[in-house]
Amino acid sequence: MLDMSRRIRSLALRAASIAVFVCTVNVAIAKERHLEQLRVALISRTARCATCHTSNDKKDWEGAGLNIYGKRLSEVSPGDALADRIALLEHGPGSTDAGAEAARKKQDQDIDGDGVPNWVEILARANPADPKNKPAPERIERVERVVTCNICHTQTHLPGKQGLEANPHNAFGLLLSETTRDKKDAASGSGPDRHRAAERVPILKRIELTRKKKPKGGKATYWEKLRLMRLPADDDDNPSKESLMSFRKRAAQQRSKKKRDPTRGMVAPAHNNDGFLQDCTALD
């Protein structure tokens, strides 16, 4: 009877350990997927026609003039949405990839081989297909420092902690963790129920729903700070008044059908914001 009791306790402890491990893995996977999707959303808004095409000239990009980045992007999973193809190109080798496959995926992350990842070059407003068009070191550092899990978390993978305790939210992350599309959920106050309701909303939709929210005492919204490569929840990391006004002017211009610059962003008849980018069509 004693042996049976010990076996039951042992099985219970093992099951609890597995549950904690699965929960931790799920949080980590969700966190990485959220960052990946947000990164693609930023890419889709920052890219120019010349990011994928041989120039910004409409006559060229309406034809077959793709540069090496555009050609590789067109080859990766061509049946998938553009959003998924960008994410796949930037994802890099997986844990099961080896040899030539791992080398190819690693090469895909830096198409022009200049040592700077495609996504960093795009967000730093350089050309990922031109090794001579490399961002300044301080611009690279700025992009790599901002576009991380620290957008929503104060720290990640804290030792001895599990789940959200290992990845505590900052002010922006906490806001997103309670953002829902349902007025009843939004009025229910904070707590586990509201968090669970928010988890059912895609991360880009939650960012869209909070696009007008500002940090306490801040002049720029969380989203404006992120677009200007500033940490959303860092009260000391703010854009200048001039850059904020310039961004707002450009955003207003892009919302106008008559005034928008067709060479900015990836919104064009050939490739609308498809896939998961449909969740944030009203961000700018």
Please check the confidence at residue 11 and state whether its pLDDT lies above 80: no
Which of 183, 178, 218 lies closest to 198, judged by CA?
178
Task: Enter the pTM of the model.
Answer: 0.84
The pLDDT of 156-165, averaged and rounded, is 83
Highest mean pLDDT among 53-67, 109-123, 160-174: 109-123
pLDDT at 8 over 80: no
pLDDT at 254: 87
Kindly report which listed range (7-16, 113-122, 219-228) carries the lowest average pLDDT score.
7-16
Query: Is 260 strand, coil or helix?
Result: coil
What is the distance between the alpha carbons of residues 215 and 174, in angstroms, rounded to a whole number?
12
pLDDT of residue 255: 85
CB atoms within 10 A of CB 52: 25
- List alpha helices for the chain, DSSP H: 2-46, 49-52, 58-61, 68-75, 82-91, 99-108, 118-123, 137-146, 163-166, 171-177, 183-186, 192-199, 203-209, 222-227, 241-255
User: What pLDDT does residue 22 have?
Assistant: 39
Separation of alpha carbons 64 and 74, rounded Å: 11
**What gap in Å lies between CA 142 and CA 127, rounded to an integer?**
17
Instruction: Give the pLDDT score at 12.
Output: 44
By percentage, how much of the chain surpasses pLDDT 90? 54
At 268 the pLDDT is 62
Q: Model confidence over 208-254: pLDDT tens digits?
A: 999 999 999 999 999 999 999 999 999 999 999 999 999 999 999 98
| Amino acid 19: pLDDT | 38
Angle at 103 between CA 126 and CA 39, to 5 degrees: 40
List of residues 6+ apart from 176 with CB closer than 8 A: 152, 198, 203, 206, 207, 210
DSSP state of 275: G
Confidence check: pLDDT of 26 > 60: no
The pLDDT of residue 256 is 87
The per-residue pLDDT for 97 is 80
Q: What percent of the chain has pLDDT over 70?
A: 80
In angstroms, the CA 198 to CA 186 distance is 9
- Burial (CB count <10 Å: 0-12, 13-18, 19+), residue 4: exposed
**Which pLDDT score is estimated for 243?**
97
Query: Structure tokens of 94?
Result: 């997986």
More reliable by pLDDT, 54 or 244: 244
**Which residues are registered as beta bridge partners of 271?**
268
Average pLDDT, the chain: 84
Q: Is the Cβ–Cβ distance between 197 and 180 less than 8 Å?
A: yes
- The model's pLDDT over 74-111, given as tens digits with 9 standing for 90+, comes to 899 888 999 999 999 998 888 888 889 889 989 999 99
pLDDT of the residue at 170: 96
* Cα 206–Cα 241–Cα 37 angle in degrees, nearest 5: 25
Question: Per-residue pLDDT for 29 more than 70?
Answer: no
Residue 3 has pLDDT above 60, yes or no: no
pLDDT of 42 > 90? The answer is: yes
